[in-house]
Structure 1
Amino acid sequence: MQVVLSAINSKYIHTGLGLRYVGEYAKAQGHNVVLIEETINTPILAVLERIMSYKAQAYGFSVHIWNKPFVFRMIRMLRKLRPDAIIMIGGPEVAFDAERIFAELPQADYIIQGEGELVVSELLTALEQGGAIPAHVAYCKDGRIELNGGVTVVEDMDKLPFPYPDLERTVAEHKIVYYECTRGCPFRCAYCLSGISRTVRKRSLELVLRDMDRFIAAGVPLVKFVDRTYNLDERYFLPMMRYLAQADTQATFHFEIKADMLSAEVLDFLATVPKGRFQMEIGIQSTHQPTLKAINRQDNWEKLAANVKRLLSFGNMHIHVDLIAGLPYEDLPTFAKSFNDVYGLEADMLQLGFLKVLPGTQMRKETEEHGLLYMDEPPYEILATKYMPYEDMQYLKHFDNILDQTANSGNFKHTLKALLRASKLDAFAFYRQLTNWWVQAGHYPQSHNAKGVAVILLQFIEENYSEMRAELLEILRFDVFCDIPQWRPEWLEWNTEKIFEVTSAFWRNEALVAQYIPEYKFSSWRQIHKFYPIELFKIDWQTGEQKNLYVMLDNKSEEKRLIVLPLEKI
């Protein structure tokens, strides 16, 4: 029996890890399975054409909050064109409420309830051999929904095959490689489905390291572990991290961790990791204690904050922290306090998410208690709560948009720090000022590139901080110099020509040049200006203190370097 599995991803760079596991396991059991990966951005008729090109007897789809409307439309069309085909669906968006899903999508024949690798293969065997429908597959019989065992999990993670038989092509197409070494979560976060299974199941360390070797050999640039809390068991994850830290690779490995669980031994080790080898995502969500209690989180804020600051002090990994707006007991002032607490950590990115009231979660069951108003369709995003009215929630949408285009862009970090100092406001109040001005100036909701944001910040400074214009524009000039190579807008008044004699003397002094760029070989002045620009700044971008600083940007090394030169002494 020919089977087509379709993973409809949200972006081209994503890979459908779940259906990859399902498909590879089914192939290993002797089933004739083909996997198709497409995106919700592909015209639906083009995806349908690709699916229909296979004269299959069975079709399977994984359903998530980002693809449910697309997949359901696809299945309704497919049923018309293949009236006798078997249609299976699974995934977190359909696994927990089969009766509701069959009412929405009667065109489906079977719903896989829970983790589907073993179940799908068992179902295909039953369909091919005429056997009984296996447990954990919901279906309709005589007008009744048979739940047939409910939600299941894969207890033995070692049964799962390597999910990337097409690894070379995945790398060539610059797609993200996802991986999981554990499933389940011991925590019971009220908004999450992962905690429904309280057990955590681990893949053998030996198998995980073998899989990592395959990624490294293929030149995978980024491996994202999807484990809900990667660092649950130090005896398991620390040997893995040590192995990856010592590997001969340029790959980056992304982990989602619980920062207050990091021990002194782990922190000491992380200080030694090669730069760029790891990146960490840390879900904080809130620092308001009644909120944390309501969502079943028991974070030790003091230890979490200290550990995050220590991780950042190493300077060898990207640290990403998360907050969620719309949680119980959090109004705008208490959210502002959470924001200030987390912003004060000075992580590389502070991502603001909005509560999604997912079917099957505790949060969905407590809708009435907390006055939750949310979208009826995916992504079920919060619109308002009894604590935070729609107007405040919508304001935070504006706030999030501006935060992403400024602080989270990785650009203008010194300008934003200087503006925050000048404002004499806390972080939330400052970004509130910036957001209100940004919207009123007509820059929202458009997206702006780095050059556009630089011009907007110029306008913001001139209209709100005119008395400090010279100092702030000098720091903005420094950020443009570092963050937007080859762009030198006239309104920032560059000193390149004024310091020509000083910089020329530097480049003629080969011994001095070698102290800063040992590998330097002269080729042309054009190459020098492109790869080693030098500029004079009259403000210390860190402190705002007035002083002359000659700065070289080394754009030719693997990692861009900033070098302060003693040119006035030449």
Structure 2
Amino acid sequence: MTILLSTLNARYAHASLGLRYLIANMGDLQAETQLKEFVIGAKTTEVVERILAHQPRIVGLGVYIWNVEETTKVVAMLKRVAPEIVVVLGGPEVSYETQEQQIAQLADYVVTGWGEATFPQLCKQILHGPKPLMKIHAGVQLPMSDIKLPYALYDDKDIAHRNLYVEASRGCPFKCEFCLSSLDKTSWPFDLDLFLAELESLHARGARLFKFVDRTFNLNIKSSLRIMQFFLDKLAAHPDDPVFAHFEVVPDHLPDALKEAIKKFPPGTLQLEIGIQTFNPEVQTIISRKQNDEKSAANIRWLCEASHAHLHVDLIAGLPGEDIESFARGFDRLVAINPHEIQFGILKRLRGTPVIRHTEAYKLVFDPHAPYTILSTDRIDFANMQRLVRFARYWDMIANSGRFANTLPVILADAPFANFMALADWLYAKTDATHRIALDRLAALVGQWLRERGSDGEKVAALLDSDYAGQASLRHLKPKAEKEKSDVANQRQARHMAA
């Protein structure tokens, strides 16, 4: 084995689609190329040891915003203990602002952008000469018909235990400045017949979970309908062995034909990720985002009411030109529509994205370390930005987890953002933590907060019990509620006596 391709995935369930594309397009070098994936959090020494066990001459590493710091350590150690190995980097994190990055300085070569043609060519030069003189090699974009599809490289273990990432197209025609896809100018589809044949092969091998990474699945409705029909046919033919599909869609482009297809999916088989990001038209203009808010809201409401699709809707805090009050209005508007999940994200400065052009005008301050999260703007100072970060974390734990489905409406009541921000501030004051809060403790804290705000202790305990039916009984909260109720009565009596 001559070439080892590797990366540190965010978790085991994630299988690297990009590296499989490289292997599929290695040509004569494919037989000499292997794949070895790791997960972030692994010890650097163990990663390096396992890489070296393959005795490669070339190591290609996929670098992303979530793994760049750990991958930098891997590259540094590789070059220290085995300097003869040639390290080649690729991936979105090293495709822009490349020369200023420590990881690029440590590596031998970097391929920026599309790698299917450039990486094999670079490997041939490294192995057989002439030796490449330049460190940075701009990826050559092949015609879509020349790119060999990688799906046969998902092995049986991948199919059985991991998300299978697929794409019917690359690129995006929209220009949202916080997104790397804003640099694409357009979208390029793969041959749909060939793509569907690959899905057919995966399904025949047992694949049932397909996550599409297309930035805009519903851009071409005819293609979208054909792909959805593929899954509907499988659901009809194998009702006891259903497939699950995940698509990312733009919310204001949902024609009747697509709605009719979506309605046919039974519960538990379709998830739609929908990017709203902001409901503020002025902010949308600043970040070059085109969105019909009324149509978007109406479509999300329709999906909630008329389909079985699980909806994951995104909002971003910290965008240039948006203050907390504006974000809160958008958040409350989305809560009123009631999607299954609201992903509360904090703006990040992905390398190469045009959002950086607003730095001076809106006083954008980003963390210099990955994932380059916004720290403050002219509208939101550092302290309040940290409150939003904690809000997002607690929202995942309480709302998006689905574990407080009956209690959440009481928490949110008539002022969702304000109420949950108050809960987030209170939780942080009580725990000084946003991670490693045991579920029972979190439930007890939520109950305590509700009672302190005037909710009836018995009703709170009943809500929490109903949320955890079949999981973990919280009936032990009832005596506590009774004691607290008694304590409150005693305090009132003491006040009356003092008067």
TM-score (norm 2): 0.89
Letter paired with 1:153: Q
Per the alignment, residue 125 of structure 1 pairs with 124
Per the alignment, residue 531 of structure 1 pairs with none
Letter paired with 2:107: A
Q: 1:200 aligns with which of 181, 184, 187?
A: 187
Per the alignment, residue 82 of structure 1 pairs with 82
- Within 5 A, what are the aligned runs for 1:256-275? 256-275=248-267
By how many angstroms is 1:242 displaced? 1.3
- Within 5 A, what are the aligned runs for 1:98-113? 98-101=98-101, 105-113=104-112
- Given that 2:89 and 2:111 are in contact with CA atoms closer than 8 Å, whether structure 1 keeps it comes out as yes
By how many angstroms is 1:132 displaced? 7.7
Provide the secondary structure at the position in 1 that maps to 2:275.
strand
- Given that 2:87 and 2:108 are in contact with CA atoms closer than 8 Å, whether structure 1 keeps it comes out as yes
- Given that 1:8 and 1:67 are in contact with CA atoms closer than 8 Å, whether structure 2 keeps it comes out as yes
Per the alignment, residue 495 of structure 2 pairs with none
- Given that 2:444 and 2:477 are in contact with CA atoms closer than 8 Å, whether structure 1 keeps it comes out as no
Q: 1:367 aligns with which of 335, 359, 362?
A: 359
Letter paired with 2:81: L
User: Partners of 2:145 and 2:369 in 1: how far apart?
Assistant: 33
User: Partners of 1:393 and 1:161 in 2: how far apart?
Assistant: 42
Letter paired with 1:21: Y
User: Partners of 1:341 and 1:410 in 2: how far apart?
Assistant: 20
Return 442-451 or 299-308, whichever deviates more: 442-451
- Given that 1:157 and 1:202 are in contact with CA atoms closer than 8 Å, whether structure 2 keeps it comes out as no
- Given that 1:20 and 1:164 are in contact with CA atoms closer than 8 Å, whether structure 2 keeps it comes out as no
Provide the secondary structure at the position in 2 that maps to 1:98.
coil
Return 195-204 or 257-266, whichever deviates more: 195-204
Unaligned ranges ≥5, structure 2: 480-499
User: Partners of 2:178 and 2:57 in 1: how far apart?
Assistant: 38
User: Partners of 1:89 and 1:53 in 2: how far apart?
Assistant: 20
Letter paired with 2:150: F
Per-residue Cα deviation, 1:424-483 (whole angstroms, up to 9, x for no partner): x421111122223222333742444543333223212322124x33444433333233xx
Per-residue Cα deviation, 1:376-395 (whole angstroms, up to 9, x for no partner): 12111111111111011001
Residue 8 in 1 paired to residue 8 in 2? yes
Residue 189 in 1 paired to residue 176 in 2? yes
- Given that 1:180 and 1:226 are in contact with CA atoms closer than 8 Å, whether structure 2 keeps it comes out as yes
Per the alignment, residue 91 of structure 2 pairs with 91
- Given that 2:387 and 2:425 are in contact with CA atoms closer than 8 Å, whether structure 1 keeps it comes out as no
By how many angstroms is 1:157 displaced? 5.0
User: Partners of 1:294 and 1:213 in 2: how far apart?
Assistant: 43
Letter paired with 1:489: R
- Given that 2:172 and 2:185 are in contact with CA atoms closer than 8 Å, whether structure 1 keeps it comes out as yes
- Given that 2:411 and 2:420 are in contact with CA atoms closer than 8 Å, whether structure 1 keeps it comes out as no
Provide the secondary structure at the position in 2 that maps to 1:66.
coil
Q: 1:460 to 1:164 in 2, by over 3 A?
A: farther
By how many angstroms is 1:340 displaced? 1.0
Per the alignment, residue 180 of structure 1 pairs with 167
Provide the secondary structure at the position in 2 that maps to 1:215.
helix
Per the alignment, residue 323 of structure 1 pairs with 315
Residue 388 in 1 paired to residue 380 in 2? yes
User: Partners of 2:142 and 2:117 in 1: how far apart?
Assistant: 7
Larger Rg, first or second structure (1 or 2) = 1
Per the alignment, residue 238 of structure 1 pairs with 225
- Given that 2:58 and 2:85 are in contact with CA atoms closer than 8 Å, whether structure 1 keeps it comes out as yes
Per the alignment, residue 541 of structure 1 pairs with none
Which gives a bigger RCO, structure 1 or 2 (Cα 8 Å, sep 6+)? 2
Letter paired with 1:487: S
Per the alignment, residue 337 of structure 2 pairs with 345
Provide the secondary structure at the position in 2 that maps to 1:352.
strand
- Given that 1:13 and 1:175 are in contact with CA atoms closer than 8 Å, whether structure 2 keeps it comes out as yes
Q: 1:282 to 1:399 in 2, by over 3 A?
A: same
Provide the secondary structure at the position in 2 that maps to 1:335.
helix
Per-residue Cα deviation, 1:199-231 (whole angstroms, up to 9, x for no partner): 211111112212222332333342111111111
- Given that 1:111 and 1:139 are in contact with CA atoms closer than 8 Å, whether structure 2 keeps it comes out as no
Per the alignment, residue 474 of structure 1 pairs with 462
Q: 1:352 to 1:245 in 2, by over 3 A?
A: same
User: Partners of 1:485 and 1:108 in 2: how far apart?
Assistant: 49
Letter paired with 2:386: Q
Q: 1:220 to 1:448 in 2, by over 3 A?
A: farther
- Given that 1:245 and 1:274 are in contact with CA atoms closer than 8 Å, whether structure 2 keeps it comes out as no
By how many angstroms is 1:8 displaced? 1.4
- Given that 1:24 and 1:162 are in contact with CA atoms closer than 8 Å, whether structure 2 keeps it comes out as yes
- Given that 1:17 and 1:178 are in contact with CA atoms closer than 8 Å, whether structure 2 keeps it comes out as yes
- Given that 1:8 and 1:16 are in contact with CA atoms closer than 8 Å, whether structure 2 keeps it comes out as no
Per the alignment, residue 139 of structure 1 pairs with 134
Task: Report the identity percentage.
Answer: 31
Unaligned ranges ≥5, structure 1: 141-146, 494-570
User: Partners of 1:416 and 1:98 in 2: how far apart?
Assistant: 45
- Give the alignment's Cα RMSD to 1 decimal: 2.2
